[in-house]
């Protein structure tokens, strides 16, 4: 299962409903898929949604599909932010990750003070600071934050993220085949 959003860049897996729990079923496999896709397609925040965004997101389709339908792999991708914000977001993200490369792996989340300046400069619907007031923006400014505005940007976004989807599908198929073979051999 994959749900697609825009307005920032990030890749998430269950759980979103709280900031403490990680998905148990296929958790290492899902995290490895996100890590691999991040290197080739995103260079952005990734991991358990609630933990990474720094606040609880109860009632998401991500959690429902994973929990109720027992879908083995469930992801939410944030795939677009306008170019002006994207370049600065990527530069700041890389700076944060290289200044403390395993920061997120030690139980920190995107709401941690370490990332505050990133989200002060790049407000997100998923990572919000208490004092942030979302300014009323023009319709065009809003549109450009969530959508490509020219053919080249559209093509680049579609090619990158369709490649990410195909990579993800291939990794999942490989994992499912390996699990089926392992189960059959037992």
pLDDT tens-digit series, residues 67-121: 999 999 999 999 998 877 777 777 766 776 676 544 444 445 555 566 666 656 6
Residue 5: predicted pLDDT: 92
pLDDT band at 130 (very low <50, low <70, confident <90, very high): low
Residue 81: predicted pLDDT: 87
More confident residue, 74 or 46: 74
Cβ distance 51 to 22 under 8 Å? yes
Phi and psi dihedrals of 78, rounded to 5?
A: -100, 110
Question: Is the omega angle on the peptide bond into residue 15 within 30 degrees of 0, that is, cis?
Answer: yes
Phi and psi dihedrals of 43, rounded to 5?
A: 50, 60
Q: How far apart are CA 185 and CA 69, in angstroms?
A: 26
pLDDT tens-digit series, residues 138-161: 888 888 888 999 999 999 999 999
pLDDT tens-digit series, residues 17-31: 888 888 888 899 999
Cβ distance 81 to 89 under 8 Å? yes
pTM of the entire predicted model? 0.74
Q: How far apart are CA 65 and CA 69, in angstroms?
A: 5
Residue 116: predicted pLDDT: 61
Instruction: Say whether pLDDT at 164 is over 90.
Output: yes
Q: How far apart are CA 72 and CA 35, in angstroms?
A: 17
Residue 25: alpha-carbon gap to chain centroid: 19
Largest CA distance in the chain: 61
Q: Which of 72, 4, 81 is nearest to 43 (CA)?
A: 81
């Amino acid at each position: 299962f994959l749900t697609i959003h825009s307005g920032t860049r990030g890749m998430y897996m269950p759980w979103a409903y709280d900031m403490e729990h990680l998905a148990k079923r296929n958790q290492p496999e899902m995290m490895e898929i996100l890590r691999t896709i991040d290197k080739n397609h995103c260079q952005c925040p990734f991991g358990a949604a609630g933990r990474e965004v720094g606040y609880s997101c109860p009632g998401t389709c991500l959690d429902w599909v994973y929990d109720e339908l027992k879908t083995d792999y469930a992801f939410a991708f944030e795939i677009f932010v306008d170019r002006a914000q994207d370049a600065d977001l990527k530069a700041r993200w890389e700076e944060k990750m290289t200044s403390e490369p395993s920061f997120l792996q030690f139980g920190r989340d995107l709401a941690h003070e370490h990332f505050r300046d990133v989200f002060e400069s790049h407000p997100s619907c998923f990572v919000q600071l208490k004092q942030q007031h979302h300014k009323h923006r023009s319709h065009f400014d809003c549109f450009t934050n969530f959508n490509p505005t020219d053919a080249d940007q559209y093509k680049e976004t579609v090619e990158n993220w369709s490649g990410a989807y195909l990579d993800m599908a291939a990794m999942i198929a490989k994992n499912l085949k390996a699990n089926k073979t392992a189960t059959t051999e037992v």
